[in-house]
Amino acid sequence: MSKLVEMKNIYKSFFGVEVLHDVNFEVDPGEVVALCGENGAGKSTLMKILAAVYTCDSGEVLVGGNPAPKNATTLDMAGMGVSMIHQELNLMDHLTVAQNIFLTREIMGKNGLIDHRQMNVEAKKLLDMLGQSDIDPKEYVRNLKIAQKQMVEIAKAVSFDVKVLIMDEPTSMLTTRETTILFNLIRRLASEGMGIVYISHRLAEIKEVCDKVTILRDGNFIATKNVAEISEQEIANLMVGREVTYKVAGNFKGDPDDVLLEVKNVSDDFLQNLSFKVRRGEILGFSGLVGAGRSELMEFVFGIRKCKTGEIFVRGNKEVIRSPKDAIRLGLGFATEDRRQTGLLLRRSIRENINLIDHIRKPGNWLHAAEMADNTSRLIKELNIKCYSQDQYASDLSGGNQQKVVFSKWLLAEPEILILDEPTRGIDVGARAEIYDIIEKLADSGKAVVIVSSDLTEVLSVCQRVIIMHEGRITGELESEECTEEVIMQYATNVAAAKEGEKTA
């Protein structure tokens, strides 16, 4: 039986810098193969070569034993059965869900016009299969939540005759419910003979859903192993090239009365009377399922969203925050969850991005070019951002390195109260541990940190106290020593609250 995918001796450079060096990669029919490696290792680039988004400098690509045509286009590869879900969302906001799913493959009616009704029907079937019956095919994509957008991308990717499905970090925007649906889908598609490439920094997922794992490091092929024969720790070590250590969050040791931020009684149509406090030196986590209202609450605090009621006290003083600018000047910072929409200026350099908030915070205080350059080199070094120069556009960085730029921008601005929404989305295991260290240092130096995270491992390893939300309400609050994945999930799905009678923290 011929291999489903064979990539042989692949080389690729960007602007004279080699990012793939003699890489081999294979997938058999019915196999789920994980592709692992640190941020910038070349995973997305290798898969974009398979989907013909990029052409390789040299090497061979075969699908089902047939060589890909010279200078193949993405449509050629789709014709050979290759479908790719990109790491960054690629939907058209001004089109409907159904129009996005069938973009360039619109269903035509007998009269030769696009048959919107039929497209809506077919889209609905796909969405139902993915457990997304609450998404209306006629809805504009711009009105969807980020997790819903990701599910639409998935529907789109499986909407035609696919033999090889590439998923580039599909779960980084999903939480448990959607992830479970996705894994069931992956297993079913594989059992029907589809080959699946699965890229993720969540090693537990790889153990759960993949058969094999191929590891890249700095553009080099390191190994391919059976997942059953390798531990998460061993995968991490091979990715990084040294031993990676994990840790567990400690307790809050500061003064419980030194409250830096207090938020009281925030309500609107969805959010129901939410209140919380965070003290100097504390790392507070917000856990819950996607759509629980955590990001909405933080948007209110940061002056992005209006609510019916709600009060904010900063260092004990009641404040009215009407815009992010107000928030920044009061010493707040907010790294949003969607780096491409709100976190980065994509067509600006790394340096401009990193120095952005500092500018807003110190109005009239011009930064010297040299100071900006120094700040940038320091942060590139500290966070190990993989780039050729600080003049490089943010858009050309790998996904995880873009996320590091967002984080650096807020580090440089030194807010006293820092809110991080999904701070390590797409960040590799090694860099993650480094970011947790930095967060702990920030707290130790007297800052308050609020982390919204759907990643339970993250919550357990860095948050000293955790508030859990479910459908616009706070359903639980736990100290770090009371936290386990099971207990958090019970509150997040509201099972625990149902047991105890509605409990608000």
For CA atoms 251, 255, 257, 258, the dihedral sign is negative
- Which of Mg ion, ligand ATP, none sits in contact with 19, Cβ below 5 to 8 A by type? ligand ATP
Rounded Cα gap, residues 302 and 38, in angstroms? 32
What minimum distance in Å lies between the beta carbon of 482 and ligand ATP? 33
397 is a contact residue toward ligand ATP (CB under 6 A): yes
**DSSP letter string over 323-345?**
SHHHHHHTTEEEE-S-IIIII--
SS (H, E, C) 108-146: ECCCCCECHHHHHHHHHHHHHHCCCCCCCCCCEHHHCCH
Among 25, 40, 430, 469, binds ligand ATP (CB under 6 A): 40
Compute how many other C-beta atoms are within 10 angstroms of the C-beta atom of residue 364.
4
Among 214, 401, 453, 475, binds ligand ATP (CB under 6 A): 401
Question: For the window 51-90, what string marks contact with ligand ATP as x by the rule CB under 6 A?
Answer: ------------------------------------x---
Comparing CB distances to ligand ATP, the nearer of 100 and 172 is 172
Rounded Cα gap, residues 144 and 167, in angstroms? 21
Query: How distant, in Å, are the alpha carbons of 55, 106, 119, 128, 156 from that of 122?
Result: 33, 11, 5, 10, 11
Written as six digits, the tokens of 245 are 């250590």
- Which of ligand ATP, Mg ion, none sits in contact with 465, Cβ below 5 to 8 A by type? none
396 is a contact residue toward ligand ATP (CB under 6 A): yes
43 is a contact residue toward ligand ATP (CB under 6 A): yes
SS (H, E, C) 262-309: EEEEEECCCCCCEEEEEECCCEEEEEECCCCCHHHHHHHHCCCCCCCE
Q: Is 268 buried (19+), middle (13-18) or exposed (0-12) by CB count in 10 A? A: middle
14 is a contact residue toward ligand ATP (CB under 6 A): yes
Judge whether 175 and 291 are in contact, CB under 8 Å. no
Comparing CB distances to Mg ion, the nearer of 38 and 455 is 38
324 is a contact residue toward ligand ATP (CB under 6 A): no
Among 37, 310, 324, 333, binds ligand ATP (CB under 6 A): 37
13 is a contact residue toward ligand ATP (CB under 6 A): no
Comparing CB distances to ligand ATP, the nearer of 428 and 455 is 428
Q: Which helix (H) or strand (E) holds 149?
A: helix 146-157
Among 4, 36, 41, 467, binds ligand ATP (CB under 6 A): 41
# binding residues, ligand ATP (CB under 6 A) = 20
Query: How distant, in Å, are the alpha carbons of 326, 329, 352, 457 from that of 463?
Result: 27, 26, 31, 10
Rounded Cα gap, residues 169 and 398, in angstroms? 12
Rounded Cα gap, residues 260 and 397, in angstroms? 35
Comparing CB distances to ligand ATP, the nearer of 137 and 400 is 400
What minimum distance in Å lies between the beta carbon of 54 and Mg ion? 13
Among 400, 423, 430, 472, binds ligand ATP (CB under 6 A): 400
Comparing CB distances to ligand ATP, the nearer of 15 and 366 is 15
399 is a contact residue toward ligand ATP (CB under 6 A): yes
- Which of Mg ion, ligand ATP, none sits in contact with 401, Cβ below 5 to 8 A by type? ligand ATP
Written as six digits, the tokens of 414 are 């030194």
What minimum distance in Å lies between the beta carbon of 434 and Mg ion? 18
- Using DSSP, state whether 153 is helix, strand or coil: helix
Rounded Cα gap, residues 186 and 196, in angstroms? 8
Q: Among the candidate windows 43-51, 248-256, 333-341, 416-424, which touches ligand ATP by CB under 6 A?
A: 43-51
What minimum distance in Å lies between the beta carbon of 164 and Mg ion? 18
425 is a contact residue toward ligand ATP (CB under 6 A): no
Q: Among the candidate windows 39-47, 284-292, 326-334, 335-343, which touches ligand ATP by CB under 6 A?
A: 39-47
Amino acid at 186: I
Q: Which residues here bind ligand ATP, judged by CB under 6 A?
A: 14, 19, 37, 39-45, 87, 386, 396-401, 426, 428
